[in-house]
């Protein structure tokens, strides 16, 4: 399961829904991952976090598989963006890249941002 940026941020902010979902995932021993795109987005906003929360973020990320945006995922993400753009349903490029990575690895995306991801065919999306 790929943890989207929304989940990572909510977890760092101790939001109840994210904490409950994290506990549930621990019990199921699910394979947890995120993407280099989500790491970028998370670090982009880290100035707003305390040193303690930055350390918490580092420690948490160390426990995850980090999927990179490689050539295959980049192509898939580009195709997704192209198809959605042509329908007038464009979404953030970062979400297209994350979706491309998820499709390449046949992973579900855990996110609060289901509105955008649900537009993408064959992508498994879960909310919390």
DSSP string for 17-40: HHHHHHHHHHHHT---EEEHHHHH
**Residue whose entry in the numeric block shows the structure tokens 């795109």:** 37
The third-level CATH classification (topology) of the domain covering 2-126 is: Rossmann fold (3.40.50)
Per DSSP, what are the bridge partners of residue 65?
33
Tell me the per-residue pLDDT of 47-65, one tens digit each, with 9 for 90 and over.
776 788 788 889 999 999 9
* Spatial CA neighbour of 19 closest among 31, 7, 28, 30: 7
pLDDT of residue 101: 99
pLDDT of residue 50: 77
Tell me the per-residue pLDDT of 22-49, one tens digit each, with 9 for 90 and over.
999 999 989 999 999 999 999 888 777 6
Other beta carbons within 10 angstroms of residue 80's beta carbon come to: 23
């Amino acid at each position: 399961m790929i943890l989207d940026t929304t989940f990572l941020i909510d977890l760092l902010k101790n939001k109840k829904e994210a904490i409950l979902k994290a506990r549930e995932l621990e019990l199921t021993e699910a394979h947890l991952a995120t993407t280099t795109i989500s790491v970028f987005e998370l670090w982009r906003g880290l100035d707003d976090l305390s040193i303690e929360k930055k350390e918490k973020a580092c420690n948490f990320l160390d426990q995850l598989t980090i999927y990179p945006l490689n050539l295959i995922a980049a192509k898939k993400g580009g195709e997704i963006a192209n198809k959605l753009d042509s329908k007038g349903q464009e979404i953030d490029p970062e979400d297209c890249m994350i979706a491309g990575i998820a499709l390449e690895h046949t992973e579900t995306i855990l996110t609060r941002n289901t509105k955008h991801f649900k537009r993408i065919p064959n992508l498994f999306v879960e909310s919390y």
